Amino acid sequence: MRRAYKFMLLLYPRGHRDQFAEEMMRVFEEASAESRAQGRAWYVRFAFAEIAGLIGGAAGAWLASEPVPAVPVTSGSRSRNTQHELIEAQQRIDENIAGMVHAIANHQFERARLLSEQERQAREHLRVLQENSGAQNMEWMVSFPRQFAPETRAATLRRRARRPAFLHV
């Protein structure tokens, strides 16, 4: 079962695997040992639940993951994924600011405070990304204007959720 689980982890996108696979394996092993001790029927039920959870989780991870770059990354150029992350981080900051302005205009001060905190975190995230990719001056973004940048599914959903109610038709 351990080997099958490890194999099924390949269903996840690479980003998710890099981040969680080792930890998922550890948690699975502990849970597996416990359910095995509770009897065969319990273990079979556990195994089915884990397989179903893995398939559902992998599907969700793929839906939420960034689109695969259409243009292959040439050697020496910055990774397209990093560009996506930087663009998305910048978009998140813009969305938070727009939301904050909207909230203040509607006297929703608690919401504005929450968005302000999100904006601060988004800026911090952008700073870390810039440091990691060595893109402090962001000059490469000039050739990749924000309005033409591909939007990730997560960003689209966030943007739609934040539209004022009268735009939802």
Partner 1 sequence: MRHVVTQNIREAKPLTEPVLLILTSLAAHPRHGYALIKDIESLSGGRVRMSTGTLFGALRRLLEDGWIERFELEDTARQKQGYRLTAQGRGALQLELDRMKHLTRAGFARLRAREAI
The CA-atom distances, in angstroms, between 42 and each of 92, 127, 130 are 45, 48, 49
Which amino acid type is present at position 37?
Answer: A
**Binding residue for partner 1 (CB under 8 A) from 3, 23, 70, 105?**
23
57 scored as a contact of partner 1 (CB under 8 A): yes
Query: Residue 52 interacts with partner 1 (CB under 8 A)?
Result: yes
Interaction with partner 1 in 65-104: which residues (CB under 8 A)?
none
Q: Does 58 bind partner 1 (CB under 8 A)?
A: yes
Residue numbers 106-125 binding partner 1 by CB under 8 A: 107-111, 114, 117-118, 121, 125
Rule CB under 8 A: choose which of 60, 69, 127, 160 binds partner 1: 60
Binding positions for partner 1, 126-165, rule CB under 8 A? 154, 161
Sequence length of the chain is 169
3-state secondary structure 53-120: HHHHHHHHHHHHCCCCCCCCCCCCCCCHHHHHHHHHHHHHHHHHHHHHHHHHHCCCHHHHHHHHHHHH
Q: Is 39 in the site for partner 1 (CB under 8 A)?
A: no
Give me the residues that bind partner 1 (CB under 8 A), please. 16, 19-20, 23-24, 26-28, 30-31, 49-50, 52-58, 60-61, 64, 107-111, 114, 117-118, 121, 125, 154, 161
